[in-house]
Amino acid sequence: MKKSNYRVGAKVWIYPSETAQWHFVNVPKKESIEITKNFGGVLRGWGSLPVSVTIGKTTWITSIFSDKRSGCYLLPIKSKVREKEGILVDDNIVFTFKIFP
């Protein structure tokens, strides 16, 4: 059976654009390799996989995105989640997620 539940930690970083500032965390490389091995054949657009994510007391549905440059999956963190959980750039956070392709 494929593992689909993960609990990991990562540092919040920002990818600035001209119109918005996107906040992300990288799913660690070890877990990203395992996810690609188990779910790489069912990726959606932009190399994405649907996930349910929990940070603190906040849970939401989003996608993780494959990033070829880092070899990791990227998780975008919505502004509402960051505000509710008090998350800032460079914070180290722990989060859980479940893949449901």
Asked whether 98 and 7 are in contact (CB, 8 A), the reply is no
**What CATH number corresponds to the domain at position 81?**
2.40.30.100
Longest dimension (CA), the chain: 43
| pLDDT by position in tens, the chain (length 101) | 678 999 999 999 998 777 778 999 999 999 999 999 998 877 677 778 999 999 999 999 999 999 989 999 999 999 999 999 999 999 999 999 999 86
Please give the pLDDT value at position 79. Answer: 94
At 43 the pLDDT is 66
Residue type, 81: V
DSSP letter for each residue of 25-90: EEPPHHHHHHHHHHHGGG-BGGGEEEEEEEETTEEEEEEEEEETTTTEEEEE--HHHHHHHT--TT
Q: How many structural domains does the chain have?
A: 1
Domain residues for the domain of 43 are 5-99
Phi, psi of 90 (to 5 degrees): 80, 0
Burial of 33 (0-12, 13-18, 19+ CB in 10 A): middle
